Structure 1
């Protein structure tokens, strides 16, 4: 009976050691996961800050594009302020623009030369 008790005690100690090792392994895994989670949270916070800065930059660039578009439109209109648009006259094949302008000048009683 004494050997049976000693055997049971040995078996119990062995199982207790295995349980302790398992708990230590699980605890190590848990601690590693906590560290990884904290790292991911820090990275996420940094990405949010970066995202906010990029969103502000996008808004600034959109406003700049709008301003530039308005300036280009104004410059295009200014560059055409002395242009004359003639409507209602059919286009003839092989027509000479200078001759055509001369005819327009005669019709308007205003001479139009090559330097005009």
Structure 2
């Protein structure tokens, strides 16, 4: 079965999707929110290489895009939770496909890196 290929001029479906999850962090944030809501600090721990400023920026962008929800609880100190919106949940199969592809890619890279070492060890 052939799938229809779209001309990927500005406004194409692939471009629209990638615009929503572009960058290093948005897809990873969406991945971590698949299991439920998380507070800012919990997200920051899961993405330990991200700066507070960048996490804030990415969360705002995802919220503006309608992919996540931000719930503020009137407590002292204030509690803020982030979760996937209905639109964000529709992206779960895409995020899962990226995860599976990434696992397979990393496994291939690991095998390819190990092969030259094995050959060198046998030759020695």
Both structures adopt the same fold (TM-score exceeding 0.5): no
Could you say which structure has the higher helix fraction?
1
Q: Max radius of gyration: which structure?
A: 1
| TM-score normalised by the chain length of structure 1 | 0.31
Greater relative CO (CA pairs within 8 A, separation 6+): 2
| TM-score normalised by the chain length of structure 2 | 0.29
